[in-house]
């Protein structure tokens, strides 16, 4: 049983090198939230125009197959 514990512990040890500490995740999360906050304003104004463009494209595509 002890051998199994050591085998699992030493095989999982390299994985801890890839996981950043919690204190460095705060800046990352804050940056992502700020990015989404800034892009949501542009997305909200562009959304109606995107819908119009796609509706025109699909309308033309469907009219070709009639």
* pLDDT number for residue 18: 67
Helix (H) / strand (E) containing 27: helix 22-64
The first and second tokens of residue 40, run together, are 């949501």
pLDDT at 66 over 70: no
Distance between CA atoms of residues 4 and 11, nearest Å = 11
Q: What is the mean pLDDT of residues 25-37?
A: 83
Q: Which residue has the higher pLDDT, 50 or 16?
A: 50
Q: What is the mean pLDDT of residues 41-51?
A: 75
Q: Is the dihedral of CA 16, 19, 24, 26 positive or negative?
A: negative
Confidence of residue 19 (pLDDT cuts 50, 70, 90): low
Non-local (6+) Cβ contacts of 20 within 8 A are 28
pLDDT at 6 over 70: yes
């Amino acid at each position: 049983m002890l051998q199994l514990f050591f085998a699992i512990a030493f095989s999982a040890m390299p994985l801890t090198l890839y996981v950043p500490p919690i204190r460095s995740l705060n800046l990352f999360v804050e940056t992502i939230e700020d990015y989404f906050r800034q892009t949501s304003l542009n997305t909200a104004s562009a959304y109606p125009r995107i819908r119009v463009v796609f509706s025109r494209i699909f309308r033309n595509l469907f009219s070709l197959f009639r």
